[in-house]
Amino acid sequence: MSRRVLITGAGSGLGRELALAYARRGDCVAVVDIRLERANETCALLAAGERPHLALAADVGSDASMLALRESIEQHWDGLEILVNNAGVASGGAVWQTETLEWERVNNVNLMGVVRGCNLFVPLLLRRSGGLVINTASFAGLAGAPELGAYGVSKAAVVALSEGLRAELHPHGARVSVLCPSFFQTRLTESCAPGQERIRDLADRMMSKGPLSAEQVAAFTIKFSEKGRFLLLPHRDTRYLWWLKRHWPGAYFSAILRFASRVLGDEKPGA
Supply the residues annotated as catalytic: 151
Question: Residue 217 and residue 184: Cα distance in Å, rounded?
Answer: 8
- Report the distance separating Cα 84 and Cα 222, nearest Å: 11
Nearest residue to 89 via CA among 104, 119, 74, 110: 110
CB 70 within 8 A of CB 121: yes
Helices (runs of H) and strands (runs of E) counted in the chain: 11, 7
Q: Is the dihedral of CA 108, 135, 238, 197 positive or negative?
A: negative
CA-CA distance, 266 to 79, in Å (whole number)? 54
Query: What b/e string do you get for 154-189 counting C-beta neighbours within 10 Å, with b at 16 or more?
Result: bbbbbbebbeebbeebeeeebbbbbbbbbbbbbebb
- Return the SS3 of 175: strand
